[in-house]
Amino acid sequence: MKKITFITLGFLSFFLGTVGIFLPLLPTVPFYLLTAYLWFNSSQRLHDYLINSKYYKKYIHETLVEKKVTPKKLIKMLLAVFVVLLIPFIIFDSLHVRIILGIVFIGHIIGGYWYFIRKS
């Protein structure tokens, strides 16, 4: 039963991740990471399928494992994060929420620079 549940949820998250490639507000990377986790724990064949897919190689492996992110690509990622965080920033009329969203965005800037750009 666990195997079937993981496979089904894996296909759902893979579908949502693929849709996220074309819809900028739907995050691709978290859904593909969830797919990898679910398929890895359900079936070796599905895990191998994910690892060999062109979308996994382009959006997950190149970005997170090989860290092939140019400053221009990082800016594009941060702009997407900015837009997503700007929505609740506008909707909620709360100073606390806006401060937290600002801290989260600054954390993304620092984390993105530290992980992708900074040379060790």
Task: Answer for the pair 16, 31: CB distance below 8 angstroms, yes or no.
Answer: yes
pTM of the prediction? 0.58
Claim to verify: residue 12 and residue 57 sit in the same structural domain: yes
Task: Answer for the pair 47, 60: CB distance below 8 angstroms, yes or no.
Answer: no
Claim to verify: residue 23 and residue 6 sit in the same structural domain: yes
- 54-70 pLDDT per residue, tens: 888 887 788 888 888 88
Q: How far apart are alpha carbons 11 and 1 in whole angstroms?
A: 16
Burial 45-82 (b: 16+ CB within 10 A, else e): ebbeebeebebbeebbeebeeeeebeeeebeeeeeebe
| Total domains, the chain | 2
Claim to verify: residue 30 and residue 59 sit in the same structural domain: yes
Q: Work out the number of other CB atoms within 10 angstroms of the CB of residue 96.
A: 8
Q: How far apart are alpha carbons 65 and 6 in whole angstroms?
A: 24
Claim to verify: residue 59 and residue 75 sit in the same structural domain: no
- DSSP-derived letter for residue 94 is -
Claim to verify: residue 58 and residue 75 sit in the same structural domain: no
Claim to verify: residue 91 and residue 53 sit in the same structural domain: no
Q: What is the pLDDT of residue 50?
A: 76
- 11-44 pLDDT per residue, tens: 999 999 888 888 877 888 888 889 888 888 887 8
